[in-house]
Amino acid sequence: MTHDISHPVEIGPRRLQGLLGLPKNRADGLVIFAHGSGSGRHSPRNGHVAAGLRSAGLATLLLDLLTPEEEQDRANVFDIPLLAERLDLATDWAARAAETSELTAGYFGASTGAAAALVAAKGSARIGAVVSRGGRPDLAGDALDRVRAPTLLLVGSLDDQVLDLNRQAYERLPGEKELVVVPGAGHLFEEPGTLDQVLRQAVLWFRRHLAGDDR
């Protein structure tokens, strides 16, 4: 049973709603989540991954990148530069907040949120790692060629089109990278056991690149 602590936070002039989660003991890094289209800080899948990351000694920030009013315009959901700008804002906030200012930050992006994470990470030395779950890295465009942060692409074996897009994106990423295909998983990783495989891979990647170990 985990005994981590989560509490609501508000970020930026738009008062973006987030949940900052801290592990029971000292945190070794911070993972900021970029949710996919139509999802937010209460996403059960990302919540499951976040709880597992906290159990592994990492702080987490689950964040709504859009306000409820902005979500009414579907174009905003696919506005990758806007979402990346909000991620950058959250990273600035974390660098100033007392509980997270000393932690190296990484991004966990799902679907379109993965593209936003890669755009926000491009050319940045302060992002220690990126993990994409069923992501659309192709939507990051030319930013792919400038991502220096170690990047892990996780894709379900049944998600044929997205798998092809991730293979193409993998070839363009210039830094440390890995592409892991999760057997029997579809786009949402709803199949039994597949999300736990995502969690295991994410823990290893973030612990290695944010905390400096191979746990």
Q: Output the furthest CA–CA distance in the chain (Å, rounded).
A: 43
pLDDT value of residue 213: 83
Q: What angle do CA 209, 36, 208 make, to 5 degrees?
A: 10
Rounded CA separation 206/152 (Å)? 10
Return the structure tokens found at 36: 């996919």
Provide the residue ranges of all domains of the chain, joining segments of one domain with +: 5-210
pLDDT value of residue 214: 65
3-state secondary structure of 160: helix
Q: Using an 8 Å Cβ cutoff, are 47 and 31 in contact?
A: no
Q: If we measure between CA atoms, which residue out of 108, 87, 209 comes closest to residue 153?
A: 108
Query: CA of 36: how far to CAs of 29, 41, 123, 133, in Å?
Result: 22, 11, 23, 10
pLDDT value of residue 107: 98
Q: What angle do CA 173, 175, 177 make, to 5 degrees?
A: 75
Q: What residues are paired with 19 via a beta bridge?
A: 8, 62
Q: What residues are paired with 152 via a beta bridge?
A: 131, 178
Name the amino acid, one letter, at 44: P
3-state secondary structure of 162: helix
Return the structure tokens found at 147: 């991502």
Q: Which residue intervals of 97-189 are DSSP H helices? A: 112-121, 160-172
Rounded CA separation 215/202 (Å)? 11
Residues in the chain with pLDDT values less than 50: 1-2
Rounded CA separation 36/34 (Å)? 7
Q: If we measure between CA atoms, which residue out of 104, 139, 98, 93 comes closest to residue 29?
A: 104
Q: What angle do CA 24, 7, 48 make, to 5 degrees?
A: 70
Pairing of strands 177-182, 127-133: unpaired
pLDDT value of residue 2: 47
Fold of the 5-210 domain: Rossmann fold (3.40.50)
Instruction: Quick: pLDDT tens for 54-91.
Output: 999 999 999 999 999 998 898 998 999 999 999 999 99
